[in-house]
């Protein structure tokens, strides 16, 4: 994708444009969580709360989506409500989908990969989300590997998450990121968090204990003109972390049902997350919301430190 040409398709809200021009901190946010992550009106309430947490931490939120074929960095509350009401009618958009959805003038909810693309186009360096996609279990036969990993290898954005979603093969996900040269940093931890739980049994590349150092690493990567991004893994807060045995059992059951129904491709993750929420009596959904809140707060702190380095 030629980023130069894409700029003609991109709209920033005045607030986001002004913040970027003035070297003020901005945090990109994805929109798949609004349309595909949870039911209305909880999805909209959560999205607006996420934006307010970014503001409380001194940064400007830029929720990313495609509306009427326009790439958008920053949405109004009415536009967030619109995406939330439409829900799964909105197309889930990754890199491969962007040209089609834009050309047809459609609405799209952005995944990690497409949010990174729009953030990079807009000049936003930090993006906070729930969890990234990765190498799916059984990928050695299905070749099911999330486009999020390829995007991290080539798009210069720091992604703050609670680790890869625990429905994935975490060991293979880390191997893939290593092959692609993507640094995996643990915020306050040497162990890869596993989305719903704080531990996975797998190590990260480096432990980093402050937003200032995370910003310094990102700044250095940009100064060195390295392609690609950086993955920051931020463990779910202790009080919202789920029991590993409970969540592992729910994941195993959901995976079995997914295979029995022949669900595959981009429908896999929304099905599994929804089914796990049902099996756990919505405990997993509550945990999911809390870890997103935690990640966007960290994202805002990193963005502030990055602006200070560039001042």
Q: Write out the catalytic residue numbers.
A: 30, 165
Using CB atoms within 10 A of its CB, is residue 28 exposed (0-12), middle (13-18) or buried (19+)? buried
Element counts in the chain: helices (H) and strands (E): 14, 11
3-state helix, strand, coil in the chain (%, to 5): 55, 15, 30
**Cβ–Cβ < 8 Å for 151, 53:** no
C-alpha distances in angstroms, 249 versus 167, 236, 244, 253? 11, 19, 8, 6
H helices of the chain, in order, are 3-6, 14-21, 32-35, 42-56, 77-86, 98-103, 112-122, 139-142, 147-154, 170-179, 211-223, 244-261, 268-279, 283-310
Beta bridge partners of 67: 70
Q: What are phi and psi of 69, to 5 degrees?
A: 80, 0
Beta bridge partners of 269: none
Q: CA-based angle 32:35:39, to the nearest 5?
A: 125
């Amino acid at each position: 994708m030629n980023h130069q040409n894409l700029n003609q398709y991109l709209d920033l809200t005045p607030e986001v444009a002004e913040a970027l021009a003035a070297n003020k901190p901005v945090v990109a946010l994805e929109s798949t969580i609004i349309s595909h992550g949870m039911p209305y009106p909880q999805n909209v309430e959560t999205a607006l709360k996420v934006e307010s947490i970014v503001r409380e931490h001194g940064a400007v939120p830029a929720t990313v989506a495609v509306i009427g074929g326009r790439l958008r960095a920053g949405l109004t509350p009415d536009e967030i409500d619109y995406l939330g009401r439409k829900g799964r009618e909105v197309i889930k958009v990754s890199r491969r989908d962007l040209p089609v959805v834009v050309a047809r003038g459609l609405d799209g909810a952005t995944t990690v990969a497409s949010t990174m693309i729009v953030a990079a186009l807009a000049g936003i360096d930090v993006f906070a989300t729930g969890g990234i996609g990765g190498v799916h279990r059984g990928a050695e036969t299905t070749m099911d590997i999330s486009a999020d990993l390829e995007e991290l290898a080539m798009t210069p954005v720091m992604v703050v998450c609670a680790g890869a979603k625990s429905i994935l093969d975490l060991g293979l996900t880390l191997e893939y990121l290593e092959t692609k040269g993507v640094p995996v940093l643990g915020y306050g931890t040497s162990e890869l968090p596993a989305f719903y739980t704080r531990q996975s049994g797998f190590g990260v590349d480096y432990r980093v204990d402050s937003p200032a150092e995370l910003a310094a690493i990102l700044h250095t990567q940009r100064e060195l003109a390295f392609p690609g991004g950086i993955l920051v893994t931020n463990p779910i807060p202790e009080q919202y972390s789920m029991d590993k045995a409970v969540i592992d059992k729910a994941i195993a059951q959901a995976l079995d049902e997914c295979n029995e129904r022949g669900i595959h491709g981009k429908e896999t993750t929304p099905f599994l997350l929804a089914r796990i929420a049902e099996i756990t009596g919505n405990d997993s959904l509550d945990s999911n919301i809390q870890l997103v809140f935690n990640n966007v707060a960290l994202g805002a702190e990193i963005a502030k430190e990055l602006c200070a380095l560039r001042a």
